[in-house]
C-alpha cells in the first residue's frame, strides 16, 4: 500500500504559499500509507517538471538540503502542480533510488499498487521496481497499450511533457479521490478519502462550486493547465490476473518477508533487533539540526508572513494622521482623479458582469495597516476569474485579521468600482467592498 497526494492550480494563478502548506500537510499525513520512501514532483507554468525524493518517511525528506533547494525554487519557477508519494515497499529495495516519482523520457509518474509477474509490458523484468517498469512502459508505448498488458493493482498519476497534461487513472483495486474547486481553479487529490476531506475542511477550502469525486475505474482523466475540468478517456480492462501455486513469491511485498525495520536514530533501515548508533553524515546532521532548531536557516518564501506592523508613535500635531499611515496606503487610497467610478464592470469576453450589491468569494492576498494603533486594516484580495481587478475592504481588530488569513477565502459584498483612466499608472480596476464573511460551510451562494 502506497499513498498519492497532489494539488494543482489550473487557472491563471500559480501555486500559492497557502497551497504549498496544504500540500505538506497531505504529504506528512500520507505517512500512514507508507514510510519506506517519500518523493515529490513539480510542474511549472511552461510544463517543465522536476523531482526530489528520499528513502524513509516524509520528515527525512522535508529536512534534507535537496528538498530545501527544491522547495525554495517553487515560487520563482511559477509552479502550477505538486504531486507527492508515500511508498510502502513491495518490490525493490527501501532506498532513494527506488522511491517514487520515476522520470522516464517525457513522463514523470507516481504509482500506488503492486503488479503481478504476469505483466508483459516492455522490459518489465529488467527493473527491480514494478512501478519503474510501469513508468518506462507508459513512456515507451503509451498508457493504453501499457494497461492492456498490465496485471495487478494500480492508481497512477503522471505528467506528460509531450501532451502537457496531468493524467490520473486507476483500476478497482486502488482508490484515488479528487476535490475540485472551479471558482479557484484548484484541484486536490489523494489516496485517502477521509484525509482529503479533513485537509480541505481544516484549511477552509470547501464552499460553493466545490466537489468531492472518486476517480472512475478504467477511465483516464487528463487535465491541461488552464482547465479544471478533465478530458475523460475510457481505458482497456487490465490483463487477466494469473494465479500461481502456493509458495510462489514473484512480485510480493518484500517488507513482510524482510528482516529490516526503520531506525529513527540511525536514520536508515537496519536488521530487526540490531542495536545501532547515530552516525549521520554532515549534510544530514546539518538538516536535522536545522529542523530541531526551528529551521532558522530557511530561505524566505515568495511572500513574507502576514504580521501586522507595530503601532506607530503618535505625533501630537494637526498633520499626525498621514504620518501614522503605512506608505503602501497610497496604493490603497488612490488619487480618484485618475479613475472613473462605475456602477458595474464587464469581463473582457463580455460573458461575466459584477455590479454593486453582488456577493463574491475572493482569495485574501495581503493587508495594509490603515491605523495600527486602532487595529484598523485594509485587506487586499483577488479572484482568478477577474485577474485585472483588486478587491479591497476594511476590518477592525487583529483577531479578525488572524481569522481571515486562517480562512484565506471570504465572501464580500461589492460597493464601488474604480476603473483607471487613460494614462493612469495602474491598469487594475479597484473594487471596494464590505461585509466580509468567512466561508465555513458548503452552502454559501457565490457569484461566478
Mapped onto helix, strand or coil, the DSSP state of residue 274 is: coil
- With a cut of 60, say whether residue 19 has pLDDT above it: yes
Q: What pLDDT, on the 0 to 100 scale, is given for residue 289?
A: 56
Which fold, 3-292?
3.60.20
Sign of the CA dihedral running 50, 55, 58, 59: negative
Q: Decide if 45 contacts 35 (C-beta within 8 A).
A: no
Residue 334 makes CB contacts below 8 A (sequence gap 6+) with 418, 426, 430
**Percentage of the chain surpassing pLDDT 70?**
77
Reported as a single tens digit per residue, the pLDDT across 155-172 is 999 999 999 999 999 999
355: helix, coil or strand? Answer: strand
Measured at the CA of 249, the angle between CA 244 and CA 253, to 5 degrees, comes to: 125
Tell which residue, 50, 5, 52, has the closest CA to residue 31.
Answer: 5
226: left (phi over 0), alpha (psi -120 to 50) or beta: left
pLDDT in tens, 384-410: 889 899 999 998 877 778 777 766 778
b (16+ CB within 10 A) / e for 417-436: bbbbeeebeeeebbbbbeeb
Considering all CA atoms of the chain, what is the largest pairwise distance in Å, rounded to the nearest integer?
A: 93
Average pLDDT over residues 187-211: 94
Q: What is the spatial distance between Cα 417 and Cα 140, in angstroms, rounded to a whole number?
A: 54
Sorted by where each begins, the domain ranges of the chain are: 3-292, 320-438
Q: Which tens digit of pLDDT belongs to each residue from 207-222?
A: 888 999 999 999 999 9
pTM given for the model: 0.58
Which one, of 384, 405, 439, lies nearest residue 183 by Cα?
Answer: 384
Cα–Cα distance for residue pair 312/6, rounded to 1 Å:
43
Mean pLDDT of 4-27: 94
Residue 279 has pLDDT above 60, yes or no: no
Name, in order, each residue with C-beta under 8 angstroms of 175's C-beta and a sequence gap of 6 or more.
155, 191, 192, 193, 214
Tell me: the pLDDT tens digits for 411-421? 899 999 999 99
Amino acid at each position: 500500500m502506497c499513498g498519492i497526494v497532489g494539488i494543482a492550480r489550473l487557472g491563471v494563478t500559480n501555486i500559492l504559499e497557502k497551497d504549498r502548506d496544504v500540500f505538506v500537510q497531505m504529504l506528512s499525513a500520507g505517512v500512514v500509507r507508507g514510510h519506506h520512501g517519500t518523493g515529490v514532483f513539480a510542474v511549472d507554468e511552461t510544463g517543465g517538471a522536476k523531482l526530489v525524493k528520499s528513502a524513509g518517511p516524509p520528515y527525512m525528506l522535508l529536512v534534507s538540503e535537496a528538498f530545501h533547494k527544491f522547495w525554495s525554487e517553487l515560487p520563482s519557477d511559477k509552479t502550477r502542480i505538486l504531486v507527492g508519494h508515500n511508498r510502502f515497499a513491495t518490490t525493490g529495495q527501501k532506498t532513494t533510488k527506488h522511491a517514487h516519482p520515476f522520470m522516464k523520457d517525457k513522463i514523470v509518474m507516481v504509482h500506488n499498487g503492486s503488479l503481478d509477474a504476469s505483466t508483459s509490458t516492455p522490459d518489465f523484468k529488467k527493473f527491480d521496481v514494478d512501478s519503474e517498469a510501469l513508468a518506462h512502459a507508459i513512456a515507451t508505448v503509451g498508457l493504453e497499450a501499457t494497461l492492456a498488458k498490465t496485471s495487478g493493482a494500480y492508481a497512477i498519476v503522471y505528467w506528460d511533457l509531450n501532451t502537457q497534461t496531468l493524467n490520473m487513472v486507476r483500476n478497482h483495486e486502488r482508490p484515488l479521490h479528487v476535490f475540485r474547486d472551479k471558482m479557484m481553479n484548484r484541484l486536490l487529490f489523494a489516496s485517502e478519502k477521509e484525509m482529503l476531506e479533513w485537509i480541505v475542511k481544516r484549511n477552509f477550502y470547501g464552499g460553493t462550486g466545490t466537489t468531492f469525486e472518486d476517480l472512475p475505474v478504467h477511465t483516464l482523466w487528463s487535465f491541461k493547465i488552464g482547465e479544471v475540468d478533465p478530458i475523460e478517456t475510457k481505458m482497456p480492462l487490465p490483463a487477466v490476473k494469473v494465479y500461481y501455486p502456493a509458495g510462489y513469491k514473484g512480485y510480493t511485498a518484500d517488507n513482510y518477508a524482510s528482516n529490516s525495520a526503520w531506525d529513527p536514530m540511525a536514520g536508515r533501515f537496519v536488521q530487526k533487533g540490531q542495536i545501532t548508533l547515530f552516525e549521520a553524515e554532515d549534510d544530514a546532521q546539518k538538516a536535522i539540526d536545522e529542523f530541531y532548531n526551528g529551521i532558522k536557516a530557511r530561505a524566505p518564501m515568495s511572500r513574507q508572513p502576514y504580521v501586522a506592523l507595530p503601532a506607530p508613535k503618535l505625533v501630537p500635531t494637526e498633520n499626525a494622521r498621514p504620518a501614522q499611515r503605512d506608505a503602501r496606503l497610497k496604493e490603497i487610497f488612490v488619487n480618484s482623479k485618475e479613475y472613473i467610478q462605475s456602477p458595474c464592470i464587464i469581463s473582457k469576453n463580455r460573458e461575466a458582469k459584477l455590479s454593486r450589491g453582488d456577493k463574491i468569494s475572493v482569495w485574501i492576498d495581503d493587508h495594509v495597516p490603515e491605523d495600527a494603533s486602532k487595529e484598523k486594516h485594509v485587506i487586499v484580495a483577488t479572484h482568478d476569474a477577474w485577474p485585472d481587478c483588486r478587491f479591497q475592504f476594511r476590518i477592525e481588530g487583529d483577531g479578525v485579521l488572524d481569522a481571515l488569513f486562517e480562512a484565506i477565502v471570504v465572501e464580500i459584498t461589492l460597493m464601488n468600482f474604480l476603473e483607471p483612466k487613460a494614462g493612469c499608472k495602474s491598469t487594475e480596476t479597484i473594487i471596494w467592498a464590505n461585509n466580509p464573511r468567512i466561508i465555513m460551510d458548503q452552502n454559501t451562494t457565490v457569484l461566478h
